[in-house]
Homo-oligomer: A and B are copies of this chain.
Amino acid sequence: MSYEELALLIDGRWTQGTSGKTETVVNPSTNEALGELPLASIADLDEALEASQKGFDVWRKTPAIQRQTIMEKTARLLEERMDVIAANLTREMGKPLKEARMELGAAIDVLRWYGEEGKRVYGRVVPSRITGMRQTVKKEPIGPVIAFVAWNFPAINVMRKVAGAIGAGCSITIKASEETPGTCIAIGRAFMDAGLPAGVLNIVFGDPATISSHLCASDIPRKLSFTGSVPIGKHLQKLAADKMMRCTMELGGHAPVLVFSDADIDAAVRNCVAGKYRNAGQVCVSPTRFLVQEAVYDKFATAFRDQASKLVVGDGLAEKTDMGPLIAERRIEVMENFMADALSNGSSLLTGGERLSNSGSFFAPTVLGDVTDDALIMNEEPFGPIAPISRFSTLDEAIERANRLPFGLAAYAFTKNAKTAAALSSEIQSGMLAINSLMVASAETPFGGIKDSGYGSEGSIEGMETFLTTRFVTEIF
């Protein structure tokens, strides 16, 4: 099984582009080169933009049911190609194969959701003040879309943008991460093989800053959708402002987990360990701040440490692997920095705490106890396999500390008490809140943050809305 053939997709053609430049894609488990990724020239980008406009003109007039038919075909092709694509996803990104398969499954789910939802983009007829006047609110595809996405979910980050745009009747030009291009390309191939018209989907790679500034300076795109860090999100929003482009911003988070003393602690630990080390913690909704009520702190921390220390770390392609490497060497340094800061601040190391090998960017599943809110890891998004645990006394304190940061993406709590649950539902400042589970993302529910974590949902009805614009038409004859 060989790695995905790397290429750009412009106006329906797979091409190496005209820049002559490439970037090497590396397997973070082995540091081996997987392939050479062609980078787009400015001319390539312009061609993609033109294609995007042309594709939009065709696609917006294609009936939703025909769009959905192509999307369903794409879904079936992805299902057929699952084994190959999942293995390549693991190769380029590092996550265990079973996680790669789950991610692809979720991406296919998202694809089907948007396909079906596109058939349900209803207009609204508003009662008129004048007899005989017809007033229609139309929901139309917003126009050509540009999208930039992060490397941590090479399939689902891409699919949320692509399927949303395509299901809504938009065209899209996407730049996936240069570290994990193969999955995006495989998705693109499935779309094209399913009969997507040329120009509706374009895939480019290159220097992120150059690409974003060039695409944002064009009159063609009407929408920018981004998944990545807070600072880049703010930068892109400014670029988009010059063309009055609408934006969706899926940025970082720092999710509190509030464990109340009345909770089922065994279930809470089981959920939290599974959630914390998924994708080596490189997840924007990863549980990252464990606030545990005093009475159950010891029980929780001990059980958490016990389970975390048993996780098998290794190459994601190995069957027994529970956790793979970090995406790249640069992330090891970030982890080491978090560790040094926390330990110097009085945190206790319960397990893990260091890199595991020099042949890949592996870092041990780590648990820190009694971490205080001034530790760096309690303030910056960890994006790695470190679980800081801290104590709290009262519901009010828990809420206040949960809301302390500028982030507002996900939050979690474990409790059996109806009044506590109601208070959290009302007071926690986050786009998503799960009580007694860590499940906040599915195709049919809105995924997105508030505050610095961005705006605009993905998935669900709300996700579709971000690719639509409202037009109001009134007629009388």
Residues of B contacting A243 with CB < 8 Å? Answer: 452
Knowing A116-B116, A434-B474, A477-B422, say if A136 contacts B131 (CB, 8 Å): no
Residues of B contacting A134 with CB < 8 Å? Answer: 422
Within 8 Å of chain B (Cβ to Cβ): is A1? no
With the chains together, A230 CA to B243 CA distance in Å? 10
Knowing A132-B422, A418-B421, A444-B119, say if A126 contacts B473 (CB, 8 Å): no
Instruction: Scan residues 363-418 of chain A and give those whose CB is less than 8 A from a CB of chain B.
Output: 406, 416-418
Task: Mark the stretch among A3-11, A42-50, A424-432 that contacts chain B.
Answer: A424-432
With the chains together, A126 CA to B445 CA distance in Å? 7
In the complex, are the beta carbons of B471 and A432 less than 8 A apart?
Answer: yes
With the chains together, A431 CA to B431 CA distance in Å? 29
Task: Mark the stretch among A82-90, A231-239, A329-337, A348-356 that contacts chain B.
Answer: A231-239
Residue in B65, B123, B241, B473 whose beta carbon sits within 8 Å of that of A238 in the complex: B241
With the chains together, A433 CA to B237 CA distance in Å? 29
Residues of B contacting A235 with CB < 8 Å? Answer: 241
With the chains together, A446 CA to B238 CA distance in Å? 26
In the complex, are the beta carbons of A471 and B222 less than 8 A apart?
Answer: no
Within 8 Å of chain B (Cβ to Cβ): is A19? no
In the complex, are the beta carbons of B431 and A471 less than 8 A apart?
Answer: yes
Interface SS majority for chain A: mixed
With the chains together, A124 CA to B65 CA distance in Å? 17
Residues of B contacting A127 with CB < 8 Å? Answer: 63-65, 118-122, 444
Residue in B118, B246, B440, B462 whose beta carbon sits within 8 Å of that of A474 in the complex: B440
Residues of B contacting A234 with CB < 8 Å? Answer: 241-242, 244
Indicate with 1 or 0, residue by residue over A311-327, a CB within 8 angstroms of chain B CB atoms: 00000000000000000
Within 8 Å of chain B (Cβ to Cβ): is A450? yes
With the chains together, A406 CA to B122 CA distance in Å? 27
Residues of B contacting A416 with CB < 8 Å? Answer: 417-419, 477
A447's nearest neighbour on chain B, judged by CB, is B472
In the complex, are the beta carbons of A435 and B475 less than 8 A apart?
Answer: yes
In the complex, are the beta carbons of A129 and B418 less than 8 A apart?
Answer: no
Residues of B contacting A249 with CB < 8 Å? Answer: 244
Knowing A127-B63, A406-B219, A418-B416, say if A431 contacts B122 (CB, 8 Å): no
In angstroms, how far is the closest chain B Cβ from the Cβ of A380? 17
In the complex, are the beta carbons of B445 and A476 less than 8 A apart?
Answer: no
In the complex, are the beta carbons of A241 and B237 less than 8 A apart?
Answer: yes
Knowing A244-B454, A244-B455, A470-B448, say if A129 contacts B430 (CB, 8 Å): no
With the chains together, A164 CA to B421 CA distance in Å? 30
In the complex, are the beta carbons of A472 and B419 less than 8 A apart?
Answer: no
In the complex, are the beta carbons of B476 and A435 less than 8 A apart?
Answer: yes
Within 8 Å of chain B (Cβ to Cβ): is A251? yes
In the complex, are the beta carbons of B244 and A433 less than 8 A apart?
Answer: no
Q: Which 3 A-B pairs have the closest CB atoms?
A: A123-B125, A237-B241, A418-B418
